[in-house]
């Protein structure tokens, strides 16, 4: 006979902590606590196997189940000295779900099961409290009719649901009596409500509330199992990638009551402070209350102890003061649990007439700051080893430590006026401006501004740089605004469709009816995508001042094998990245010098080059441009002090550099000495229908070999000069958009020619510089074997590779991606988290074929994914040598790389 039911806390405990798959997290932990001698109300767990059977057999239970449940309930009765269904001394039970992994709020709970007109009398005599008993009964009526009779039966309410109807009755009585809280209702009033409720339930749902305790029990169990396939639960699992086949367990447990009087209480606590990580017991409680009252937030919970006081609760008595014995017992349990689980626990407890019961214990959620501190302190306390300490902090949690953020307390009190996509994390506060020009001007006179645009373009970059943050109404997580902001570690919200920039272009309106004008203060939380009116206070970040962070990162570096580089285009970014632990530059974009803060001359010269109509003119413009490119490359090579620097040759289509507005175009025409019409014509000729798939990268280098030649000369001369002055330098030239081996061979020939020429001219015996390519075109991944014959390294450009593998334009994906994520058609935005099935296979093919052709091929990644933890782990698994990401994500990548290495062991 298969065992479907596991008793805990009665005369014996049958389950254990290891049986999570069968008993669910809650059930396994309840059993475990009972084994540890921790006071747990007795009960039993119906296994996840029953859930699987339930669905496989068309919502039927296995035959043996009923007998096992009856038997278990008898054991529970014996342990409590009560009997389920007894009119004299009834046992009441709670029915709760409990899956292998916590799915908070996604499934159903029913309390006080077993209470009927008959057993009610028994409860009154048990408790000597008629009001309490009727209150318990009306709570059962409300929960049961909602969870079991309506939702559990799959009834689609016509108009309002039953819960709402009953709530309205309750409110009406309270209103009539002038009561503020439910607790003010008298026993008689509750009796009247019970009658009303039963009547309403019968009329609304077409059947009577079941007065048979066993019918109640099976009804509630069935409703919990049914909720496993509820819409919310299914969607949650799809997002969290939890298989439907896991199923949920059902926990049936003797009721204990925190609401029987002033010697009763209920509370939640954390074994350490989940916000700061401080090793101090932290929690809150309510006297004379049920668990749901703590959550509901009608009464302000009191602090557990002095460590738990906050602004709201400062004046309230602590549990330590009010119930010292129960508090001491709770403290002892806290120590026991931490020693047992070697991690911070999140617990729920109830005190019934002075006696403490534990209702739940699970590993607690915590902030990034707290996670780092707990990991290091537990390591020092000998609770965990180094590996565990590193694995305790999720890489993405480091974001909080790296960026200034809105003060959480202030934010909790504020109401967002709009929500968008969280493109650049951290917080920012500033006055709204609507053009890049204004951003520059306002900030020049010392104003903090937030740039609000429909979308941004390279011409806005200066204004974006000057702004505290960027807010756009269009674009996705990898739109221009998002990419630029994330590279800088700047707060940014994009695709905020809830705002609409007005006709004047100097204000925006939100869907909720707010209007924000130029100069109005707004605050952004780039981590959540929330926009607030007014200036909320900011909390700064200083990770190097956080000793826990510093030690954690040392450990991470000790364990990881994947190197971490950064994407940086300026000496300033490079220096910042080194501070964050970057071991080289994986992507230096030559084109970014044209939009920097420096002189406008390079951009002008570039435009001159672009507008040339003959190779002759172009060559002349390139010669003028040359010293700027060389100086730019040289400065960054110098700062990197011998670390590898991958320099990508010109990538964007030329049209991107053509000025958009009439005025700039006119000035260019004047300065170039050509007619406006001719200039406009040339600009028009450069325009493309699909610039992403257009004339860019190596394609430019092939049609205009002189552009490649100038850049290579700049890089190699800068290298030669630094070497001559005794500096260490390790340049790597990278060709973008390669799709065929012949393209790369064409560029390689120019490279070798320029290198030979410089060596001869300067009399150098060698001029070391690697020559490699981006792999960002699907074809390049497939033909990696041919390509590696020429390339000494590959760098996977996963932004473009994702675009082309999916056929998605990252600039346009915003029009349908939200529908895809909502509908579960894609598990995640593939521009944020690498699509391992599709894009990942191309990467794996590319690496395998590349290394087969050249065993020592160096392989890295330089797309946005280089800073995404899940993607970093993938990069480790497929055998890359390094990842490269924006400076602010370097620590995240370092930690993710350590996780990958440790998980592999």
Is the Cβ of residue 633 or residue 817 nearer to a second copy in the bound state? 817
The binder of a second copy chosen from 695, 727, 851, 877 (CB under 8 A): 695
The minimum distance between CB 787 and a second copy, in angstroms, equals: 11
What phi-psi label fits residue 354: left (phi over 0), alpha (psi between -120 and 50 degrees) or beta? Answer: left
Stretch that binds a second copy, among 81-89, 567-575, 748-756, 807-815 (CB under 8 A): 807-815
The encoded tokens of residue 45 equal 């767990």
- Cβ-proximal residues to 442 (8 Å cutoff; 6+ apart), any chain: 431, 433, 449
The encoded tokens of residue 794 equal 């590959």
Using CB under 8 A, count the residues that bind a second copy: 47
Q: Does 800 bind a second copy (CB under 8 A)?
A: yes
Stretch that binds a second copy, among 86-94, 631-639, 660-668, 771-779 (CB under 8 A): 771-779
480 is catalytic: yes
The minimum distance between CB 757 and a second copy, in angstroms, equals: 19
Distance linking the first and last C-alpha atoms of the chain: 39
Q: Does 105 bind a second copy (CB under 8 A)?
A: no
The minimum distance between CB 480 and a second copy, in angstroms, equals: 10
Q: Does 815 bind a second copy (CB under 8 A)?
A: yes
> Of 465, 480, 865, 899, which one is the catalytic site residue?
480
What is residue 540's three-state secondary structure? Answer: coil
The binder of a second copy chosen from 635, 691, 764, 870 (CB under 8 A): 691
> Angle 300-303-309 (CA atoms, 0-180°, nearest 5)?
100
Stretch that binds a second copy, among 131-139, 202-210, 759-767, 831-839 (CB under 8 A): 831-839
Backbone angles phi, psi at 836, to 5 degrees: -70, -35
The encoded tokens of residue 667 equal 């000035």
The answer to whether the CB of 723 falls within 8 A of the CB of 729 is yes
What is residue 627's three-state secondary structure? Answer: helix
The answer to whether the CB of 666 falls within 8 A of the CB of 604 is no
Stretch that binds a second copy, among 170-178, 571-579, 836-844, 870-878 (CB under 8 A): 836-844
Stretch that binds a second copy, among 201-209, 545-553, 634-642, 798-806 (CB under 8 A): 798-806
Instruction: Give all strands (DSSP E) within 503-597, no chain letters.
Output: 507-510, 515-517, 521-525, 530-533, 538-539, 563-567, 585-589
Q: Give kind and range of the element (H or E) at residue 575.
A: helix 571-579
Q: Does 839 bind a second copy (CB under 8 A)?
A: yes
Stretch that binds a second copy, among 275-283, 540-548, 668-676, 811-819 (CB under 8 A): 811-819
The binder of a second copy chosen from 68, 798, 803, 871 (CB under 8 A): 803
The minimum distance between CB 208 and a second copy, in angstroms, equals: 36
The binder of a second copy chosen from 329, 377, 811, 870 (CB under 8 A): 811
What is residue 538's three-state secondary structure? Answer: strand
The answer to whether the CB of 4 falls within 8 A of the CB of 34 is no
Q: Does 819 bind a second copy (CB under 8 A)?
A: yes
Q: Does 804 bind a second copy (CB under 8 A)?
A: yes
The minimum distance between CB 438 and a second copy, in angstroms, equals: 22
The binder of a second copy chosen from 155, 820, 870, 902 (CB under 8 A): 820
For residue 538, what are the β-bridge partners? 406
Q: Does 838 bind a second copy (CB under 8 A)?
A: yes
The encoded tokens of residue 306 equal 């002095």
DSSP 5-30: EEEESSS-----GGGHHHHHHHHHHH
DSSP 351-413: EETTEEEEEEEEEPP--HHHHHHHHHHHHHTTSS-HHHHHHHS-GGGGHHHHS-EE-HHHHHH
The minimum distance between CB 779 and a second copy, in angstroms, equals: 4
Is the Cβ of residue 348 or residue 811 nearer to a second copy in the bound state? 811
Instruction: Give all strands (DSSP E) within 208-257, no chain letters.
Output: 248-254
Question: 3-state SS of the chain: helix, strand, coil percent to 5?
Answer: 50, 15, 35
Q: Does 690 bind a second copy (CB under 8 A)?
A: yes
> Of 264, 361, 862, 875, which one is the catalytic site residue?
862
Q: What's the rounded Cα separation, in Å, for the pair 428 and 614?
A: 48
Q: Does 837 bind a second copy (CB under 8 A)?
A: yes
Is the Cβ of residue 163 or residue 655 nearer to a second copy in the bound state? 655
The minimum distance between CB 825 and a second copy, in angstroms, equals: 4
Stretch that binds a second copy, among 47-55, 588-596, 778-786, 851-859 (CB under 8 A): 778-786
Q: Does 689 bind a second copy (CB under 8 A)?
A: yes
The minimum distance between CB 839 and a second copy, in angstroms, equals: 7
Is the Cβ of residue 460 or residue 743 nearer to a second copy in the bound state? 743
The minimum distance between CB 726 and a second copy, in angstroms, equals: 41
899 is catalytic: no
Q: Please, which of residues 368-407 interact with a second copy by CB under 8 A?
A: none
Q: What's the rounded Cα separation, in Å, for the pair 567 and 888?
A: 10
Largest CA distance in the chain: 106
Please, what's the b/e burial string for 710-740 (b: 16 or more CB within 10 A of its CB; e: otherwise)? bbbbbbbbbbbbbbeeeeebbbbbbbbbbbe
Stretch that binds a second copy, among 12-20, 34-42, 288-296, 810-818 (CB under 8 A): 810-818
The minimum distance between CB 740 and a second copy, in angstroms, equals: 6
Stretch that binds a second copy, among 158-166, 404-412, 481-489, 692-700 (CB under 8 A): 692-700
The binder of a second copy chosen from 206, 505, 824, 879 (CB under 8 A): 824
Is the Cβ of residue 264 or residue 813 nearer to a second copy in the bound state? 813
Q: What's the rounded Cα separation, in Å, for the pair 731 and 713?
A: 13
Is the Cβ of residue 365 or residue 687 nearer to a second copy in the bound state? 687
Q: Please, which of residues 697-756 interact with a second copy by CB under 8 A?
A: 699, 702-703, 737, 739-740, 742-743, 746
DSSP 616-663: HHHHHHHHHHHHHHHHHHHHHHHHHTTSEEEEE---S-GGGGS--SHH
Is the Cβ of residue 826 or residue 902 nearer to a second copy in the bound state? 826
Q: What's the rounded Cα separation, in Å, for the pair 29 and 19?
A: 9
The binder of a second copy chosen from 204, 566, 805, 871 (CB under 8 A): 805
The minimum distance between CB 816 and a second copy, in angstroms, equals: 5
Is the Cβ of residue 575 or residue 844 nearer to a second copy in the bound state? 844
Q: Please, which of residues 334-373 interact with a second copy by CB under 8 A?
A: none
Q: Does 777 bind a second copy (CB under 8 A)?
A: yes
The minimum distance between CB 219 and a second copy, in angstroms, equals: 32
Residue 71: count of CB within 10 angstroms of its CB: 13
The answer to whether the CB of 777 falls within 8 A of the CB of 736 is no
Q: What's the rounded Cα separation, in Å, for the pair 514 and 417?
A: 7
The binder of a second copy chosen from 426, 778, 850, 891 (CB under 8 A): 778
Report the Cα 609 to chain-centroid distance in Å. Answer: 44
The binder of a second copy chosen from 153, 383, 394, 782 (CB under 8 A): 782
Q: What's the rounded Cα separation, in Å, for the pair 738 and 775?
A: 7
What phi-psi label fits residue 643: left (phi over 0), alpha (psi between -120 and 50 degrees) or beta? Answer: beta
For tokens 């969280």, the residue is: 422
- Count of alpha carbons within 13 angstroms of residue 175, beta-carbon side: 6
Active-site positions?
480, 862
Which residues bind to a second copy, rule: CB under 8 A? 688-695, 699, 702-703, 737, 739-740, 742-743, 746, 776-779, 782-783, 800, 803-809, 811-812, 815-816, 819-820, 823-826, 835, 837-839, 841-842
């Amino acid at each position: 006979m298969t065992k479907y039911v596991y008793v805990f806390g009665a005369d014996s405990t049958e389950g254990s902590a290891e049986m999570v798959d069968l008993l669910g997290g809650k059930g396994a932990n309840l059993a475990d606590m009972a084994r540890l001698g921790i006071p747990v109300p007795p009960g039993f767990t119906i296994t996840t196997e029953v859930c699987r059977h339930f669905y496989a057999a068309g919502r039927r239970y296995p035959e043996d189940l009923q007998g096992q449940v009856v038997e278990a309930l008898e054991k529970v009765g014996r342990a409590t000295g009560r009997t389920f269904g007894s009119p004299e001394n009834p046992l009441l039970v709670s029915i709760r779900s409990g899956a292998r992994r916590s799915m908070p709020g996604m499934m159903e709970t029913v309390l006080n099961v077993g209470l009927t007109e008959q057993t009610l009398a028994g409860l009154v005599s048990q408790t000597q409290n008629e009001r309490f008993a009727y209150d318990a009964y009306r709570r059962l009526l409300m929960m049961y009719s909602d969870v079991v009779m309506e939702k559990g039966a799959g009834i689609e309410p016509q108009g309002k649901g039953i819960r709402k109807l009953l709530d309205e009755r309750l409110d009406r009585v309270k209103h009539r009596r002038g009561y503020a809280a439910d607790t003010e209702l008298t026993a008689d009033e509750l009796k009247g409500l019970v009658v009303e409720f039963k009547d309403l339930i019968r009329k609304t749902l077409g059947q009577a509330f079941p007065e048979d305790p066993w019918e109640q029990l099976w009804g509630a169990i069935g409703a919990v199992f049914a909720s496993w396939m509820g819409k919310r639960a299914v969607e949650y699992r799809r997002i969290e990638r939890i298989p439907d086949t896991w199923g949920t367990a059902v926990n049936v447990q003797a009721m204990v009551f925190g609401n029987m009087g002033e010697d009763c209480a209920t509370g939640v606590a954390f074994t350490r402070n989940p916000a700061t990580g401080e090793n101090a017991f932290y929690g809150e409680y309510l006297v004379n209350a049920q668990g749901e009252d703590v959550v509901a937030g009608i009464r302000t919970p009191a602090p557990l102890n002095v460590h738990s006081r906050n602004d709201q609760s400062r004046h309230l008595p602590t549990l330590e003061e009010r119930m010292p014995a129960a508090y001491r017992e709770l403290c002892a349990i806290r120590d026991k649990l931490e020693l047992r689980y070697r991690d911070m626990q999140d617990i729920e407890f109830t005190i019934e007439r002075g006696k403490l019961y534990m209702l739940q214990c699970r590993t607690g959620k915590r902030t990034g700051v707290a996670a780092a501190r707990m990991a290091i302190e537990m390591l020092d306390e000998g609770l965990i080893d180094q590996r565990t300490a590193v694995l305790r902090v999720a890489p993405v949690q480091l974001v909080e430590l790296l960026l200034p953020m809105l003060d959480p307390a202030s934010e909790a009190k504020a109401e967002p006026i709009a929500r968008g996509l969280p493109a650049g994390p951290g917080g920012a506060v500033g006055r709204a401006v609507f053009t890049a020009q204004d951003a520059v001007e306002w900030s020049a006179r010392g104003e903090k501004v937030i740039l609000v645009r429909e979308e941004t373009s390279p011409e806005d970059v200066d204004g974006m740089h000057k702004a505290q943050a960027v807010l756009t109404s269009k674009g996705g997580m990898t739109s221009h605004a998002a990419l630029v902001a994330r590279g800088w570690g700047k707060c940014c919200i994009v695709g905020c469709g809830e705002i609409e920039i007005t006709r004047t272009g100097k204000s925006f309106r939100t869907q909720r009816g707010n209007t924000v004008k130029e100069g109005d203060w707004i605050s952004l939380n780039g981590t959540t995508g929330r926009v607030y009116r007014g200036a909320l206070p900011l909390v700064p970040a200083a990770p190097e001042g956080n000793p826990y962070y510093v030690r954690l990162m040392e450990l991470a570096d000790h364990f990881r094998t994947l190197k971490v580089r950064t994407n940086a285009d300026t000496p300033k970014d490079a220096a910042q990245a080194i501070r964050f632990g970057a071991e080289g530059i994986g992507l230096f974009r030559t084109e970014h010098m044209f939009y920097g803060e420096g002189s406008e001359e390079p951009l002008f010269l570039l435009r001159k080059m672009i507008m040339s109509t003959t190779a002759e003119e172009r060559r002349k413009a390139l010669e003028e441009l040359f010293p700027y490119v060389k100086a730019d490359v040289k400065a960054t090579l110098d700062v990197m002090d011998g670390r590898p620097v991958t320099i990508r040759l010109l990538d964007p289509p030329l049209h991107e550099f053509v000025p958009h507005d009439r005025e700039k175009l006119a000035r260019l025409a004047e300065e170039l000495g050509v007619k406006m019409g001719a200039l406009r014509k040339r600009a028009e000729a450069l325009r493309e229908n699909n610039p992403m798939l257009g004339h860019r990268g190596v394609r430019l280098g092939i049609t205009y070999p002189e552009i490649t030649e100038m850049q290579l000369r700049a890089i190699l001369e800068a290298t030669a000069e630094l070497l001559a002055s005794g500096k260490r330098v390790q340049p790597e030239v990278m060709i973008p958009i390669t799709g065929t081996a012949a393209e790369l061979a064409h560029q390689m020939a120019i490279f070798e020619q320029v290198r030979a020429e410089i060596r001869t001219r300067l009399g150098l015996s060698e001029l070391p510089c690697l020559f490699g390519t981006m792999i960002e075109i699907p074809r390049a991944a497939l033909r990696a074997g041919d390509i590696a014959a020429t390339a000494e390294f590959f760098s996977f450009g996963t932004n473009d590779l994702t675009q082309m593998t999916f056929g998605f334009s990252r600039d346009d994906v915003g029009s349908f991606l939200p529908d895809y994520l909502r509908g579960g058609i894609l598990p995640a935005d593939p521009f944020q988290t690498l699509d391992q099935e599709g894009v990942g296979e191309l990467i794996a093919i590319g690496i395998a074929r590349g290394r087969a052709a050249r065993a020592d091929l160096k392989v890295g990644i330089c797309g946005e994914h280089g800073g995404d933890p899940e993607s970093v782990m993938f990069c480790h698994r497929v055998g890359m040598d390094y990842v490269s990401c924006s400076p602010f994500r370097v620590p995240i990548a370092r930690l993710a790389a350590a996780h990958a290495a440790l998980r592999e062991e």
